[in-house]
Chains A and B, each alone.
Chain A
């Protein structure tokens, strides 16, 4: 298996805090990799550094053999990295359908003249995109609410919708930031199935999650962060039995999901 993503000794500081402190991590093609750690350990910041929200002060991000640190976020999406947000960020004034459509943005070949003149290219692409959107909505089980506005749909559906939007960009790597947080058990179980199916399509996944069962069921490899540093890596069992990890979780006492909410 060749390496798809490599975070190489990345450092990201905010004023006095070093949120990401020399983290090394790798996702190989086809893998589902877990990224866990107590609250505030720097997981989301790692995602932000990978997706270009922040440029790391030190270190490299290598995707598909190319250094991508410092590139604009939209360029990184074009390269094939999609993500969801821990705190949902959908476009509230639009419908479910349109939000998914927005995910396709990076793949659109149409320019403003195609739109204004309604060219054949435009009609063809639109027809194809519409089919794709419905396929994705069907895949994540939201086809029946495609015309609903975001304000009218429940939290759990919004979370899954973000995954649909990310899929529309046809990513090679999908970064999920606590996708199960706030979902009930049924939704959570459905989500596991969806993530598995996404992975079966050949999309690699980097998964941040507090819900340990969720990580256990999906990730073949796990990295553990604490205070911005990687303190362990290996299989789920290896990590959870590692004394450093146990201490990190017990030490802060905020490892479980209930404490977080």
Chain B
């Protein structure tokens, strides 16, 4: 029995993917289908935060900015410059990865709240740039008619496979010496450096990997909506990503994936409540956080790298 449970637990991620993969077979109505797709797209950002925040302890509240970079890069190159969507799919995460490097630099010096403020500023700067670069981005009017990679159910399965691949990548990083270095930085970065971890290099790596995930998510967003507008990349969206990763247990790949699906779907499921919808939504999240055993909030906050690892080395 125990053994069976363990096998189930170890392979839960595949089970989750199989279930999600079977959804189209049941012929979901279009809108619900779209919500599941958005959930998968969000799941990529959540995995990106599992690596950056859960493993490495670097809290970013600017991830919507990274998603925007991926989305707009895809849209602009495909629509305005006639790139093949496939080329743009490959290039977008490269570009977001490079942008992620810029985001990593402040983390070499800043910690805790100071770094968080920096990431918020980053997200806002990206949004304001998009808003003002009207010639490229359409500014507040947005970009319409973005050509997708696939249409319909093919896009769904393509996304599912990509998210699965990224989930496996996350799991592999978790179990590697690189994941261990990330966690050492999270728990005690001064000690990590002294025992041989190149802290700057690994922070950079974590930010870049995280940004690549977010960039791919941006491409999917552009594919799903076919329309981009700066309102989709606000601070509020970044906070929702944080909510998703916290509800998923911060370091859990499977938890993050499921949490992304649930938190994306919840406001839609509650739509019948009309005016009370957001109140109940908030209430459900509160109850969840209060009672879900896996979620030890204290522990989670202790992981946020808010407390400085002691500089006094004795």
Question: Who on chain A is nearest to B312 by CB?
Answer: A87
Partner of A53, one of B177, B188, B194: B194
Given the complex of chains A and B, what is the CA–CA distance between A101 and B209 in angstroms? 23
Does A250 lie at the interface of the complex (its beta carbon under 8 Å from any beta carbon of B)? no
* Contact (A85, B191) CB under 8 Å given A78-B196, A102-B197, A103-B196: yes
Given the complex of chains A and B, what is the CA–CA distance between A94 and B205 in angstroms? 21
Question: Who on chain B is nearest to A53 by CB?
Answer: B313
Question: Who on chain A is nearest to B175 by CB?
Answer: A115
Does A51 lie at the interface of the complex (its beta carbon under 8 Å from any beta carbon of B)? yes
Kindly name the residue among A86, A92, A102 whose own CB sees the greatest number of chain B CB atoms within 10 A.
A102
> Number of A interface residues, CB 8 Å?
37
A177 near B314: Cβ-Cβ < 8 Å: yes
Residues of A within 8 A of B18 (CB): none
Chain B, range 234-252, C-beta contacts under 8 Å to A: none
Q: Which of B179-187, B218-226, B285-293 contacts A (4 or more CB under 8 A)?
A: B179-187
Does B30 lie at the interface of the complex (its beta carbon under 8 Å from any beta carbon of A)? no
Residues of A within 8 A of B205 (CB): 112
Residues of A within 8 A of B274 (CB): none
Interface residues on B, range: 20 to 34
A115 near B197: Cβ-Cβ < 8 Å: no
B199 near A74: Cβ-Cβ < 8 Å: yes
A105 near B191: Cβ-Cβ < 8 Å: no
Given the complex of chains A and B, what is the CA–CA distance between A87 and B187 in angstroms? 15
- How far, in Å, is A39 (CB) from chain B's closest CB? 11
Residues of A within 8 A of B195 (CB): 77, 83, 102-103, 105, 165-166, 169
A 5-26 binary contact with B (CB < 8 Å = 1; else 0): 0000000000000000000000
B173 near A115: Cβ-Cβ < 8 Å: yes
Does B172 lie at the interface of the complex (its beta carbon under 8 Å from any beta carbon of A)? yes
A116 near B181: Cβ-Cβ < 8 Å: no
- How far, in Å, is A149 (CB) from chain B's closest CB? 12
A104 near B198: Cβ-Cβ < 8 Å: no
B193 near A86: Cβ-Cβ < 8 Å: no
Does A120 lie at the interface of the complex (its beta carbon under 8 Å from any beta carbon of B)? no
* Contact (A94, B196) CB under 8 Å given A110-B177, A112-B205, A112-B209: no
Given the complex of chains A and B, what is the CA–CA distance between A74 and B200 in angstroms? 10
Given the complex of chains A and B, what is the CA–CA distance between A219 and B191 in angstroms? 27
Does B169 lie at the interface of the complex (its beta carbon under 8 Å from any beta carbon of A)? yes
Does B176 lie at the interface of the complex (its beta carbon under 8 Å from any beta carbon of A)? yes
Q: A44-B313, A78-B196, A115-B172 are in contact. List 7 more A-B contacts (CB 8 A).
A: A77-B196, A85-B191, A89-B188, A102-B180, A102-B195, A103-B196, A112-B205
